[in-house]
Amino acid sequence: MPNIIVFTSGKGGVGKSTLVANIGTAIALYHKKVVIIDMDIGLRNLDMIVGLERKIKANIVDLTKGLCSLKDALVYDARTKNKLALIAASQSDFKKDINLFKFRAVLSDLETMFDYILIDSPAGIEEGFNKSIYYAKKAMVVVNPEISSIRDADRVLALLENHRIKKEISLIINRYRKELKKKRYYIPSDEIIELLGAPCIGVISEDERVLRQNNSGIPFVYQSNLQISTEIKEIAETIIGKKKNRITKKNQTKSLWDKMKKDSS
């Protein structure tokens, strides 16, 4: 399952859903078929960010429970010539209501239909997170330039690195304010990459228009004049292999135990 990519973070509210909506849209605008799945069961949001909330008839829980067909659960975005599809989360169920094996079967079906599957993980490192990351072959860890977010990202990185299904892991630094880079209280992006010891696929600036676009249901990436749109498109290009990732991995200060551990790839 090479093109199943989970967006996760540990800490909540760092921009996972915003990034899934915009990167998903950007990939679709490159004429690739992509499905975005909201795994935040009980707290569904992704449908609103992409402005598809009114079209939803069924959700991922219905699907894994066999209560509806894939056709019922997939909602297509006409603005992308139906290249982008969404499977919404359920608003009334709980994380436990997804059966991991059934979820796997759904992913297998989706793989035959789409080039990319992007999973929007809930915050935290519990059940919803575990199910979201389980079958992903790539993981994007979203982090804000704040110590609480960095600490949680470090915890999530360790969980992803030790997962039984090997994952290619990248960081996305979101809500970055370049103008503060030199401030004593600010953590510059290169420091975040160095500290977390994972490759970074992109840095997205802080921009108040994100809020405006999220509220309007039109992903900001449609506004091609924005700096953040360019930043999103660069990540999309890296994902679809149009572009080599420029930001490289820095050395991680690992413990002796971790250094000695065999790489099980």
Partner 1 sequence: MSSKLSNRLKSILDEDRKVLSKNSERDLKKKLADIMSSYFSIDKRKVRINIVKTNYQSEYKLTADMPIKKSALDKEK
Ligand X SMILES: Nc1ncnc2c1ncn2[C@@H]1O[C@H](COP(=O)(O)OP(=O)(O)OP(=O)(O)O)[C@@H](O)[C@H]1O
**Which residues bind to ligand X, rule: CB under 6 A?**
9, 12-18, 40, 45, 123, 174-175, 204, 206-207, 210-211, 214, 228
Residue among 150, 160, 169, 193 that touches partner 1 (CB under 8 A): 150
Full strand arrangement of the beta sheet holding 34-38: 75-77, 84-87, 34-38, 116-120, 4-8, 138-143, 168-176, 200-205
126 contact partners, CB below 8 Å, separation of at least 6: 95
As measured in angstroms, the least distance from the Cβ of 20 to ligand X is 8
Among all chains, which residue has been given the structure tokens 């704040």? Answer: 146
User: Using alpha carbons only, how large is the chain's radius of gyration in Å?
Assistant: 18
Q: Which of 104, 100, 168 is nearest to 139 (CA)?
A: 168
CB of 144 to ligand X, least distance (A): 8
* Segment interacting with partner 1, rule: CB under 8 A, options 77-85, 126-134, 177-185, 218-226: 177-185
The single residue among 187, 203, 210, 236 that binds partner 1, judged by CB under 8 A, is: 187
Using the rule CB under 8 A, which residue among 195, 201, 203, 239 binds partner 1? 195
Tokens, residue 29: 């605008």
In single-letter form, the type of residue at position 236 comes to: A
Q: Which does 184 bind (CB under 5 to 8 A by kind): ligand X, partner 1, Mg ion, none?
A: partner 1
Binding site for partner 1 (CB under 8 A): 147, 150-151, 154-155, 158, 162, 183-188, 191, 195, 253-258, 260-261
